[in-house]
């Protein structure tokens, strides 16, 4: 598989990104939408920008840096907001601040140029994964008023968790793999990324559909 063929496959998650964005618009102006879901339409627009930049240019370093910081900040803050405050909340907050500062430091240390920017993205992804794990531990450790399957945050976290689990190793060792693997094997391995994006987007769509179910349940109670 050549780089051009791989880039062509990346159009598939880009299409799914647009579909997810359209579903995210359903949450705008809905009184029943949990407060932690506000702004996800903006997050999905950023996701579209990330894939688009990856497709068409590896040299827009400044924009790439902004996207890495935005992605970590948005998701990290989301997991903190969606979690109920417990004894571990301060630890989770410390992890958020630590990885935010570490990401800024690395992006300012000449590690932002492609392909090293992938490694920085992988490091920030480790922080996201830890905060995602905190959300799961927090959610399963307390009594919830509604089933987790009906909770939008659960599906967001599941999508992020699966995506990071598959892509972090590729991001952290991207430079090593790109240098030491034959090109055809590298791009075969890199197919993990677009398929993990599909899982990510499907979970997000499910989350936005859950907000509609919450809306319907509220109307039934009011009636």
- Taking a C-beta distance cutoff of 8 angstroms, is the pair 20, 206 a contact? no
What are the residues whose beta carbons fall under 8 Å from the beta carbon of 172, sequence distance 6 or more?
119, 122, 123
CA–CA distance, 160 with 176 (Å, rounded to integer): 25
Where are the chain's structural domains?
Answer: 3-222
Residue 62 neighbours by CB distance under 10 Å: 9
CA–CA distance, 68 with 95 (Å, rounded to integer): 17
Q: What is the pLDDT along the chain (223 residues), one digit of tens a residue?
A: 556 666 667 677 788 888 888 888 877 766 667 778 877 888 888 777 766 766 665 555 666 777 788 889 999 999 999 888 888 899 999 999 999 998 888 877 755 555 566 677 888 899 999 999 999 998 887 666 557 788 889 999 999 999 999 888 877 777 677 677 666 666 666 678 788 888 998 999 998 888 766 554 433 333 3
- Taking a C-beta distance cutoff of 8 angstroms, is the pair 131, 72 a contact? no
- Taking a C-beta distance cutoff of 8 angstroms, is the pair 205, 149 a contact? no
pLDDT at 11: 77
As a residue count, the chain comes to 223
pLDDT at 98: 95
- Taking a C-beta distance cutoff of 8 angstroms, is the pair 172, 121 a contact? no
Token couple for 150: 């009906």
Nearest to 50 by CA among 17, 96, 87: 17
**Domain range 3-222, CATH class:** mainly alpha
pLDDT at 154: 92
- Taking a C-beta distance cutoff of 8 angstroms, is the pair 111, 94 a contact? no
pLDDT at 115: 55
CA–CA distance, 66 with 16 (Å, rounded to integer): 23
CA–CA distance, 19 with 80 (Å, rounded to integer): 27
CA–CA distance, 6 with 160 (Å, rounded to integer): 23
């Amino acid at each position: 598989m050549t780089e051009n063929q791989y880039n062509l496959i990346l159009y598939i998650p880009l299409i799914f990104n647009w579909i997810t964005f359209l579903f995210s618009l359903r949450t705008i102006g809905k009184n029943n939408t949990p407060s932690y879901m506000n702004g996800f339409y903006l997050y999905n627009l950023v996701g579209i920008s990330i894939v688009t930049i990856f497709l068409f240019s590896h040299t827009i370093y400044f924009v790439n840096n902004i996207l890495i910081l935005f992605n970590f900040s948005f998701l990290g803050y989301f997991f903190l907001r969606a979690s109920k405050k417990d004894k571990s909340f301060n630890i989770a907050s410390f992890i958020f601040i630590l990885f935010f500062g570490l990401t800024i430091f690395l992006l300012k240390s000449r590690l932002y140029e492609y392909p090293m920017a992938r490694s920085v993205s992988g490091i920030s992804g480790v922080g996201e994964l830890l905060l995602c794990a905190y959300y799961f531990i927090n959610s399963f450790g307390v009594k919830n008023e509604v089933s987790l399957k009906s909770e939008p945050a659960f599906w967001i976290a599941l999508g992020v968790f699966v995506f990071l689990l598959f892509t972090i190793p590729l991001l952290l060792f991207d430079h090593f793999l790109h240098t030491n693997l034959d090109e055809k094997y590298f791009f075969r391995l890199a197919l993990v990324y677009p398929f993990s994006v599909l899982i990510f987007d499907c979970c997000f769509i499910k989350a936005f559909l859950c907000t509609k179910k919450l809306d319907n349940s509220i109307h039934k109670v009011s009636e």
